[in-house]
């Protein structure tokens, strides 16, 4: 007659004599090992009852609750823009070709869309690249490149906010109004990879502008980030990220 597996010590001893092996619960084995005292033999494993299993589960849940939660970084939050600063003849559908290397880059919110400037925009306003928030087209970022600075950069007075930004008014006609009606303006500079970037922060009743400008080999590279004043506070971190990631290549 086959031996039935039960939890008694006598039955387990009988199972050894008969050659029958009674499986033991993995939880029971772990519980016995955890409770074993040093220099003492482990007692035969006994299956845990309902109350013991509930207690063990509660302990595991409590230990998980106090474990530190690591922050999760969202992937794909920003996209990368590459600009070529090519002549107006290269625009109107394609800003550069495969043989040209990009001249500058920046990161913009992944939900925004790139808009290719026309030959007229490039030729008369210097607009080299543009990205727009499709949910609010008044919120945008665009780059203007101009070949008007001397090698010593003196012919383009980057430290004079009004005279500098007035030269870009043709690229964004609301910029001049923002300058004249500004409620707060600030200017600063920083060094990035050997290049000096001049940053401008302009608040006005209608628009808030973040601008950064630098000069390389006589060419001016300027990035403008524009947002309606009412929606700027909620988007400030992303808008500043665009400016902070602007680099020459």
Q: How many CB atoms lie under 10 A from the CB of residue 81? A: 22
Q: Which one is predicted more confidently, 119 or 75?
A: 119
Percent of the chain residues topping a pLDDT of 70: 59
d(CA 120, CA 101) in angstroms, rounded, equals 23
d(CA 225, CA 168) in angstroms, rounded, equals 13
pLDDT at 154 over 70: no
d(CA 249, CA 68) in angstroms, rounded, equals 40
Mean pLDDT of 213-228: 92
What are the chain's domains? 9-36+43-65 (no CATH), 78-248 (3.40.1000.10)
Which pLDDT does position 147 carry in this prediction?
79
Which pLDDT does position 51 carry in this prediction?
52
Which pLDDT does position 56 carry in this prediction?
41
Kindly give, in sequence order, each residue whose CB lies less than 8 Å from that of residue 97, ignoring residues fewer than 6 positions away.
Answer: 90
DSSP state of 170: G
Mean pLDDT of 60-87: 60
Q: What is the edge-to-edge ordering of all strands in the sheet holding 104-109? A: 78-83, 104-109, 247-248
Quick check: 196 and 189 in contact, CB under 8 A?
Answer: yes
Which pLDDT does position 156 carry in this prediction?
59
CA 15 distance to own-chain centroid: 63
Q: Which one is predicted more confidently, 12 or 113?
A: 113
Which pLDDT does position 95 carry in this prediction?
46
d(CA 166, CA 48) in angstroms, rounded, equals 81
Q: What is the mean pLDDT of the chain?
A: 73
Could you identify the residue written with the tokens 């609010």? 136
Q: How confident is the model at residue 202 (pLDDT cuts 50, 70, 90)?
A: very high
Q: Which one is predicted more confidently, 103 or 7?
A: 103
Read off the pLDDT of residues 1-49 as tens digits, 9 standing for 90 and up: 444 444 444 444 444 444 444 444 443 334 334 444 444 444 444 454 5
Could you identify the residue written with the tokens 């500043």? 240
Q: Which one is predicted more confidently, 31 or 225?
A: 225
Mean pLDDT of 230-236: 97
- What proportions of the chain, in percent to the nearest 5, are helix, strand and coil? 30, 25, 40
Element (H, E) at 117: none
d(CA 164, CA 156) in angstroms, rounded, equals 7
Backbone angles phi, psi at 60, to 5 degrees: -65, -45
Q: How confident is the model at residue 169 (pLDDT cuts 50, 70, 90)?
A: confident
Which pLDDT does position 28 carry in this prediction?
39
Task: Look up residue 201 and give its two tokens.
Answer: 């922060």
Mean pLDDT of 45-55: 49
Which pLDDT does position 119 carry in this prediction?
84
Phi-psi region of 40 (alpha: psi -120 to 50; beta: other; left: phi over 0): beta
């Amino acid at each position: 007659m086959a031996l039935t597996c039960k939890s008694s010590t006598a039955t387990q001893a009988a199972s050894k004599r008969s050659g029958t092996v009674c499986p033991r619960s993995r939880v029971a084995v772990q519980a016995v090992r955890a409770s074993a005292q040093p220099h003492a033999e482990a007692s035969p494993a006994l299956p845990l009852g309902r109350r013991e299993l509930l207690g063990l589960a509660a302990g595991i849940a409590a230990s998980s609750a106090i474990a530190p939660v690591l922050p999760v970084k969202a992937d794909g939050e920003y996209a990368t823009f590459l600009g070529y600063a090519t002549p107006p003849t290269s625009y109107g559908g394609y800003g550069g070709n495969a043989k040209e290397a990009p001249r500058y880059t920046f990161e913009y919110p992944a939900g925004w869309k790139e808009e290719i400037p026309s030959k007229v925009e490039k030729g008369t306003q210097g607009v080299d690249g543009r990205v727009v928030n499709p949910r609010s087209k008044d919120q945008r970022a665009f780059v203007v490149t101009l070949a008007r600075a001397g090698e010593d950069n003196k012919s383009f007075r980057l430290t004079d906010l009004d005279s500098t930004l007035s030269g870009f008014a043709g690229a964004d006609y609301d910029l001049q109004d923002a300058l004249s009606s500004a409620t707060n303006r600030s200017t600063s500079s920083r060094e990035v990879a050997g290049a000096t970037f001049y940053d401008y922060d302009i608040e006005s009743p209608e628009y808030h502008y973040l601008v950064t400008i630098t000069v390389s080999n006589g060419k001016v590279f300027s990035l403008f980030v524009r947002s309606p004043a009412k929606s700027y506070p909620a988007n400030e971190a992303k808008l500043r990220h665009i400016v902070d990631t602007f680099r020459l290549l």
